[in-house]
């Protein structure tokens, strides 16, 4: 068996979700909303299943969806994308990431990865024969620094895999960090694979800035998005890749043998959804921000130290002030003894893990959040 997969432990998301199922715990671990998602978008998908075409759509994606992606990013992020040469539809961001990494990284190439990182990145880089070079980001701000980038980049750097807004930390890199990263990419002639799936889930009046919009990055960024996150329909697995035409041509070849295509009915519904007016997106953000505030305030009342969440479905607590040094043991205790599943952030590191940060998903209905808080009562005070 291939050791890259054979030696991988079962993901912490699955472990925690299984424990939650077995013990009847409230699952605030894995990141999915308990809201069914926008009804008009779901209705469009249902209509397209009944009345539309259910055979293989174009490998690059439905033309109407590619046009909608380009128009959407022009409107929201000021990007200039030609739908026919710069946009491809994939089966979720996960396929987009795999296709980009396989299409760009050659055996022996170095790839810069930022820890904490989404768990798919490292095995995909290894499978491509890439050599990971880690930049370890530090709580509570998880910022990029010139020194850290200087240690990671080299003349052998082929690509960097960058995630902004960042899961699991729920932080957004400021413009100066984007400029710093862009500077390194240009200096070392590296391609940035920019995972921007959380681009719309940003709070407190923030606007997402794509790495692709930073000076000099238009033609060396592979921008990845996910309708699952934009419309709170995580099971749909409709993703998009945007890149300069010569890069996209190669990525299309890796896509053709990964999934080739994506269900046309879901594509049609996403094309409709991307054209929704600004109010939809603003309301979605406000609703999530309200849940974030409710859960943050509840945790703080119970004595937990919350690291502010700027975006995503997540917030984190710092368990160091509770005298805790092992996030995995802490999360196990929360699920087994208190009936609340969470995620230890050390699972997002390959080396030098921070072991004192724990992630919760707040994208849940008020009664779920309140029940979770009730079960957590006493944990912080007892531990402190």
Ligand X SMILES: Cc1ncc(COP(=O)(O)O)c(C=O)c1O
Q: Is 340 helix (H, G, I), strand (E, B) or coil?
A: strand
Specify the length of the chain in residues: 384
Among 20, 27, 31, 247, binds ligand X (CB under 6 A): 31
Closest CB 94 distance from ligand X, rounded Å: 3
171 binds ligand X (CB under 6 A): no
142 binds ligand X (CB under 6 A): no
Considering only residues 234 through 293, tell me which ones interact with ligand X, judged by CB under 6 A: 234, 237, 239
Nearer to ligand X, 118 or 304 (CB): 118
Adjacent-strand bridge partners of 317: 306, 358
Closest CB 235 distance from ligand X, rounded Å: 8
**245-256 vs 92-104: helix crossing angle, rounded to 10:** 110
27 binds ligand X (CB under 6 A): no
Q: Are 74 and 274 contacting, i.e. CB atoms less than 8 angstroms apart?
A: no
Measured between its terminal Cα atoms, the distance across the chain in Å is 46
* Tokens (6 digits) for 372: 């979770």
Nearer to ligand X, 27 or 324 (CB): 27
* Tokens (6 digits) for 369: 């959040």
44 binds ligand X (CB under 6 A): no
61 binds ligand X (CB under 6 A): no
Helix (H) or strand (E) holding 160: strand 157-163
Q: Are 169 and 120 contacting, i.e. CB atoms less than 8 angstroms apart?
A: no
Residue 78, class by beta-carbon neighbours within 10 Å (0-12 exposed, 13-18 middle, 19+ buried)? exposed
226 binds ligand X (CB under 6 A): yes
314 binds ligand X (CB under 6 A): no
Q: How many residues bind ligand X (CB under 6 A)?
A: 14
Among 86, 157, 163, 309, binds ligand X (CB under 6 A): 163
Closest CB 160 distance from ligand X, rounded Å: 14
Among 114, 118, 153, 184, binds ligand X (CB under 6 A): 118
228 binds ligand X (CB under 6 A): yes
Other beta carbons within 10 Å of 250: 15
d(CA 234, CA 31): 9
Residue ranges in contact with ligand X by CB under 6 A = 31, 92-94, 118, 163, 167, 195, 197, 226, 228, 234, 237, 239
């Amino acid at each position: 068996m291939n050791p890259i997969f054979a030696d991988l432990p079962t993901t912490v998301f699955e472990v925690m979700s299984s424990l939650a199922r077995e013990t009847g715990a409230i699952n605030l671990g894995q990141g999915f909303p308990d809201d069914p998602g926008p009804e008009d978008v779901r209705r469009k998908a249902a209509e397209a299943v009944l009345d539309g075409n259910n055979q293989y759509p174009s490998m690059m994606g439905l033309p109407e969806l590619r046009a909608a992606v380009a128009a959407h990013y022009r409107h929201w992020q000021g990007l200039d994308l030609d739908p026919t040469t710069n946009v491809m539809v994939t089966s979720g961001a996960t396929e987009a990431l795999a296709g980009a990494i396989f299409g760009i990284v050659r055996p022996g190439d170095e790839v810069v990865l930022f820890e904490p990182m989404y768990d798919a990145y490292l095995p995909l880089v290894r499978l491509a024969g890439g050599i990971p070079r880690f930049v370890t980001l530090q709580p509570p701000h998880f910022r990029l620094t010139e020194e850290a980038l200087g240690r990671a980049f080299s003349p052998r750097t082929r690509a960097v895999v960058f995630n902004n807004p960042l899961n699991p930390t729920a932080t957004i890199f400021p413009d100066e960090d984007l400029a710093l990263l862009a500077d390194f990419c240009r200096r070392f002639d590296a391609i940035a694979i920019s995972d921007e799936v959380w681009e719309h889930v940003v709070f407190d009046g923030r606007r997402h800035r794509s790495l692709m919009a930073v000076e000099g990055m238009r033609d060396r960024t592979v921008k990845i998005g996910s309708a699952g996150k934009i419309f709170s329909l995580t099971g749909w697995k409709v993703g998009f890749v945007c890149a300069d035409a010569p890069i996209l041509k190669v990525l299309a070849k890796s896509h053709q043998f990964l999934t080739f295509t994506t269900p046309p009915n879901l594509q049609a519904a996403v094309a409709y959804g991307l054209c929704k007016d600004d109010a939809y997106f603003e309301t979605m953000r406000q609703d999530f921000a309200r849940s974030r505030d409710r859960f943050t305030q509840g945790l703080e009342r119970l004595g937990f130290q919350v690291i502010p969440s700027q975006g995503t479905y997540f917030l984190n607590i710092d368990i160091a002030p509770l005298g805790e040094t092992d996030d995995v043991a802490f999360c196990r205790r929360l699920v087994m003894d208190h009936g609340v599943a969470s995620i230890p952030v050390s699972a997002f590191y390959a080396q030098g893990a921070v072991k004192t940060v724990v992630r919760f998903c707040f994208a849940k209905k008020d009664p779920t959040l309140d029940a979770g808080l009730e079960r957590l009562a006493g944990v912080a005070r007892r531990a402190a």
